[in-house]
Amino acid sequence: MTSTGFVSIVGAGPGDPDLLTRKAVRRLRRADLVLYDALVDPRVIAIARRASRFYVGKRAGRHALTQDAIHALLVRAARRGLLVVRLKGGDPFVFGRGGEEALALTAAGIPFEVVPGITSAVAAPARAGIPVTHRGVSSAFLVVSGHDLSAFEAAVNGTQPDAVTLVVLMGMANRARLAASLIERGWPASTPAAVITGAWTPEEHVARCTLVELSLASDGAPDAPGTLVFGEVAALACAAVAATYESRERASAR
């Protein structure tokens, strides 16, 4: 008789495998089955050496599997006694549909856990030297999806740029429209903005501009991943100097 397996809903963080948690690494190493999404770095997936690994993600509305099919797969694999890792970019509960999967597992009586990951909402700005909160500048930050313009507008309604930093995930495709919408809602055209792509991957890039400049730029490709930051903190220049920890460590090797 097989005992029931276990599902770990694991956040893979922003890309760099060194930003995985120790718990995530351990779960990946022991996994029998890994179901992963788009935007999970291949170096992270490779840690699950002994597991069968399947892509179940979606890009631009095209799904490899429906959400219901993913739920069914998780339940079936756990009932067969497997240690399953459901691997998601960033954190599973930040736009990751992890809540839906947790509810489905709860309903099916499957034991599971959530292993939080580093969310790009905080780590992508950090990589660009931008603190989402900063004493005397911003004591709150709003994380919102830029995928759906009307949901975005409902979420930012009433926000004041001197009180809140705005962090937009999944907003590259609509970035000009999002910026224009904020100006219409009373955000000053001169509000600093940052467009961060590929943070914590070898392709990282940061562009700084203002809200009006972004509103006049073109929208991005439908699938471009990236993080937008709007607010005074986006102008802070606490970028790390060029030296890296690794170069310092080599220099001091005795």
Residues 6+ apart with CB under 8 A from 75: 104, 105, 108, 110
3-class DSSP state of 157: coil
Active site residues per annotation = 37, 58, 170
Give 160 or 218: the residue with its C-beta nearer to a second copy: 160
Q: Are 24 and 117 in contact (CB under 8 A)?
A: yes
- Minimal distance, residue 58 CB to a second copy, in Å: 13
Distance from C-alpha of 107 to C-alpha of 244, rounded to nearest angstrom: 48
Give 195 or 199: the residue with its C-beta nearer to a second copy: 199
- Minimal distance, residue 253 CB to a second copy, in Å: 11
φ, ψ at 23 (rounded to 5°): -65, -40
Q: Are 196 and 125 in contact (CB under 8 A)?
A: yes
Is residue 147 classed exposed, middle or buried when 0-12, 13-18 and 19+ CB atoms within 10 A define those classes?
Answer: middle
Residues 6+ apart with CB under 8 A from 20: 12, 13, 28, 44, 47, 117
- Minimal distance, residue 230 CB to a second copy, in Å: 14
Give the containing element (helix H, strand E) for 165.
strand 165-169
Distance from C-alpha of 155 to C-alpha of 26, rounded to nearest angstrom: 37
Distance from C-alpha of 69 to C-alpha of 35, rounded to nearest angstrom: 12
Q: Are 11 and 24 in contact (CB under 8 A)?
A: yes
- Minimal distance, residue 127 CB to a second copy, in Å: 8
